[in-house]
Each structure stands twice: as structure tokens, then as C-alpha cells.
Amino acid sequence: MGVEIKELNVQIDHVHVYVEIPPKYSVAEVVKQMKGGSSAGIREKVQYLGKMRFGKDVLWARGYFVSTVGIDEKTIENYVKYQGKVDSGQLTLDL
């Protein structure tokens, strides 16, 4: 799709991803592709997930948060990169 993942931070219960999306794609379509593709890959590698019943092929939560304007790129990149430390109180990041 031409989507570039600029920063990725995986937490125990959520994921922060900073991506650059070509204007021909909607954010919703990219999120759908990322969730679907990663779900299939995770289920292939962690086979016991296929035996668990979360609903029909459900691995990720239905919702997501997106911000597209108002903050410079370096601030967003740092937010995603250091999110685990911010959540745990180990780092103070001025936004």
C-alpha cells in the first residue's frame, strides 16, 4: 500500500504506531489492513489463539485512536517511541 511505519511501540495491552499514509488511502482502510494482517500473522505464530473464542476471528479491539493534525513529526515520533516509559511513570515527556 505504500504505508511507511515510522515508529512502532508494542505494549502488553495496546500498540502505538506512527505511520505515513499516502493520500489515496483512508486512515480507516489502513488501520483495517494493519489489524487484519497482523492478526493473521500472530494467529499463525501463536497457534493456541486459534482455539480461543474471542468472537469471529477477533484479536484486536474494535476501536482505535487517530490524530492527523496539530503536532510536529518529531513530537509524534518521540511520543510513540517512549510511550511505555511514559505509561509506567519512568519518563516525563513535554508535548
Q: For residues 19 and 76, is the Cβ–Cβ distance under 8 A?
A: no
| Residue 65 DSSP SS3 | coil
The catalytic residue positions are 79
C-alpha cell at 27: 486512515
- Residues written for the chain: 95
